[in-house]
Amino acid sequence: MDDTYQVYVNRVAHMTLSDAYKAQVQYIQSSPKFIPDGNDGFQVVPFPGYSVITPPWGEDSSNADFYKQVQACQRELVKALPEGFFIPLPAESFHMTLADLIWNDAYRHALKVNEDFERRLQQSIDQIFQRCEPLVQGADPVTWQVIGLLVMPRAIALGLAPKAERSYARVTELRRSLYQNIELINLGVEQQYHLTGHITLGYFGDISKLPDANTFSAIISELNQPWIENEIPQEIHVHRAELRKFENMMQYNRENDWPVLSFDA
């Protein structure tokens, strides 16, 4: 289901254009993952599930310089956008999602119909990682780089593109191993989205404060410039993939014995 390498790069690059930002404005919605807290702010709501992700910044010192610049970009967004419109995520939660697995209603349903769901999911992921790891490991690092800001229907993110075709192939090989596994399919895991590598910076809150299309596009385009002009560290090294459980969109947890796949030989 995922794109070929060149189709992927072209698609994500197009999403960072000023005209794309303008066109996206009409589709912007408040994120259901947050609700007003009654004090002009927002609070996170339960949104449980599992994903395969890179270690969050709080546990990934090897990409510290990169994430510091991601955090700086997020701070500029908070300054530039109307208060209450953009809900920033905690910086320590920044990560790249490698494969969404199951979440929210589908996750709750799986728990109801299969009391052994979580153990079976973890066991299946462990077996997949063991089989897949020799296929995706290499002496050369899996490296993705920022291609620009992305405006999604409910969020703003930094879009990522593979630095080389091999980096893309190793991630998509992992995704195929997960989404085509019959045990995971029987547990309710299915691929619902094409891969769009990104780091979510925050979600949309009060969309009554959304600027007009021209103003919004100008703000995002201006904040894009340092990334486009290569003024700041742009690369994230994807060393490993981890199974993580989340209760909401602000914290991703794992136990020490949960499955891990290493991309580094």
Decide if 265 is inside a domain: no
Is the confidence at residue 174, as pLDDT, over 90? yes
pLDDT tens sequence across 228-253 = 887 667 999 999 999 999 999 999 99
> Which range of residues forms the domain containing residue 79?
5-251
Q: Does residue 261 lie within any of the structural domains? A: no
**Cα distance between residue 122 and residue 178, in whole Å:** 12
**Residue 119 clears pLDDT 90, i.e. is over it:** yes
Decide: 237 and 161 in contact? Cβ < 8 Å: no
The answer to the question of residue 262 being in a domain is no
In a domain, 145, yes or no: yes
User: How high is the pLDDT of residue 39?
Assistant: 86
Q: What are phi and psi of 20, to 5 degrees?
A: -65, -40
Q: How far apart are CA 179 and CA 222, in angstroms?
A: 38
Identify the three-state secondary structure at position 83: coil
pLDDT tens sequence across 90-117: 999 999 999 999 999 999 999 999 999 9
pLDDT in tens, 12-60: 999 999 999 999 999 999 999 999 998 888 999 999 999 999 999 999 9
**What does the alpha-carbon distance between residue 150 and residue 169 come to, in Å, rounded to a whole number?**
22
Please give the pLDDT value at position 1: 84
**196-208 pLDDT, tens per residue?**
999 999 999 999 9
Q: Is residue 263 part of a domain?
A: no
The number of folded domains in the chain is 1
Report if residue 260 sits inside a domain: no
**Could you tell me the CATH number of the domain that includes residue 50?**
3.90.1140.10
Token duo for residue 241: 């993939």
Does the predicted model carry a pTM greater than 0.95?
yes
| 256 is a domain residue | no
> What's the average model confidence in pLDDT over 128-151?
97
Q: Rounded to an integer, what distance in angstroms lies between the CA atom of residue 114 and that of residue 224?
A: 46
Kindly state whether residue 214 falls inside one of the protein's structural domains.
yes
